[in-house]
Structure 1
């Protein structure tokens, strides 16, 4: 039985842990906040019911899945995992600290999958003892419902690591799409332009959020509009990713919409805070 270490139990990390446990894998779920780990256990039954209603064919119960998950505040339990899927917040310095700890405790043959939306894989892999075993695995949100995973080949990533990632993702019911290591990769270089420009449309009074999203759903056939997606991801996360893209490319097309920055400053972070472009409290 494969053992997966998931570092970071936030929105993405919790769903990745759920997905791995649903497919019978042992999971070591690491976070810095006990309340976040407790939240994962409390919310798992409800999230599992919701995903099943949306078409996921998971056969394990929440109780069976929780038996496969070891929640921890320490790095030590990650010493014997086959894979690390790192899903810490989108902050380069924070991720570098995480990888310094992982390099200290993990086995030499552990593979590392960086679940990032914009940060270059090569930059993080450079500090690892064997950067050939580090790659990007950009899961889409919500994780159980999205088929595609961007697998990002860093400068040193080996063919063997890419093939191992494809095998892991196949076991999880995912389709690995291999791309090169440029900030934002494919998905976020496109999606963040959509979300940012949609925020500009709201700021300029061209249309309301519901109208903009309806055009994307009903006109383009997207399942969600850009502002619904931004609220789901978290406006603070979208803002930070735009700043990362702007920093790396120095291209004004990634300049964050002032309204989006103001909303984040005001604490309107989307669904997780109860209010973003939409109100989730009513």
Structure 2
């Protein structure tokens, strides 16, 4: 690969995880967010993850420090001027993402590939705001990034074969498995997962069973590692609702209609682990 430096846009849960995985391969990383406190919080998460690896004997103290030394903090998007590759991991909102890509198109060198970690939005639409749509692609990492092997690779209408090849090579270099999918709402992962979660919420809404019972049926009967309502709380109910709305709008099919109870919880601010309350209460 000719990739030496990557910029990660967004230092949240996904962005910090991607930055850690990239830095572990020996590549240089610029971890960018709009505020210094967000970048520092992301670096704190990476440090905590690496310290746990040291405690469990998976890494040495020197290896941990070397990884951290490869991550450069950034709050200025013009730092993209010397990168070879960008992964955008900002909030799941088309307006925000397209503005980021417009700015990246201006700052990043012409050879740089611009990838989005979107979990459901159109890569073709994101690419259309740039002058390099052939170099725009989707890289949907799974959470938690350091643990999960899969990356959904999404081609936009104009994505070139060369761009896909580089991304597949980079995925392999990071120890991930790239699975190619086409540009449809929700791709594969969320087109299958979110309606299942939504249906579990309907079961609760209609009084079929308690949250605990619904989750136990799916864990014990279908061998899922966690129940759909626990998973929804982990993802964030606001994110689940947003993706269901994208599916509902994109396919115009009533089977993707978000459950009214999901809307009610989001309006109440009960959006899962990050708010302290979703379908379960968290300390």
Gaps of 5+ in 1: none
Provide, for residues 212-239 of structure 1, a one-character-per-residue CA deviation record: whole Å limited to 9, x for no partner.
2222222112222212221111111111
Matched with 1:159 is 161
Contact 1:2/1:82 (CA < 8 Å) preserved in 2?
Answer: yes
The farther-off stretch of 165-174 and 250-259 is 250-259
* RMSD of aligned alpha carbons: 2.0
Matched with 2:109 is 107
Contact 2:32/2:73 (CA < 8 Å) preserved in 1?
Answer: yes
Distance 2:253 2:57 in 1: 40
Cα deviation, residue 109, structure 1: 0.5
Matched with 2:85 is 83
Cα deviation, residue 44, structure 1: 2.4
Distance 1:278 1:63 in 2: 37
Matches within 5 A, 1:207-218: 207-218=209-220
Matched with 1:97 is 99
Q: TM-score, normalised by structure 2?
A: 0.93
Provide, for residues 73-124 of structure 1, a one-character-per-residue CA deviation record: whole Å limited to 9, x for no partner.
1101111111111111111111111011001100100011111111110001
Contact 2:7/2:80 (CA < 8 Å) preserved in 1?
Answer: yes
Matched with 1:47 is 49
- Post-superposition, which runs of at least 4 consecutive aligned residues in structure 1 deviate over 3 A? 48-53, 55-63
Contact 2:54/2:64 (CA < 8 Å) preserved in 1?
Answer: no
Matched with 1:275 is 277
Contact 1:4/1:26 (CA < 8 Å) preserved in 2?
Answer: yes
Cα deviation, residue 249, structure 1: 1.3
Contact 1:56/1:145 (CA < 8 Å) preserved in 2?
Answer: no
Whether 1:239 and 2:241 are equivalent positions in the alignment is yes
Q: TM-score, normalised by structure 1?
A: 0.93
Distance 1:138 1:251 in 2: 24
- Label 1:4 to 1:56 Cα distance change in 2 as closer, same or farther (>3 A): farther
Provide, for residues 138-169 of structure 1, a one-character-per-residue CA deviation record: whole Å limited to 9, x for no partner.
11111122111110111111111111011100
SS at match of 1:64: helix
How many residue pairs end up in the alignment? 280
Distance 1:142 1:52 in 2: 18
Gaps of 5+ in 2: none
Matched with 1:134 is 136
Contact 2:105/2:131 (CA < 8 Å) preserved in 1?
Answer: yes
Distance 2:57 2:265 in 1: 34
The farther-off stretch of 210-219 and 150-159 is 210-219
Matched with 2:187 is 185
Matched with 2:24 is 22
Distance 2:130 2:116 in 1: 12
Contact 2:36/2:75 (CA < 8 Å) preserved in 1?
Answer: yes
Distance 1:147 1:105 in 2: 31
- Label 1:199 to 1:62 Cα distance change in 2 as closer, same or farther (>3 A): farther
- Label 1:194 to 1:106 Cα distance change in 2 as closer, same or farther (>3 A): same
Contact 1:44/1:62 (CA < 8 Å) preserved in 2?
Answer: no
Cα deviation, residue 48, structure 1: 3.2
SS at match of 2:146: helix
Distance 1:44 1:220 in 2: 33
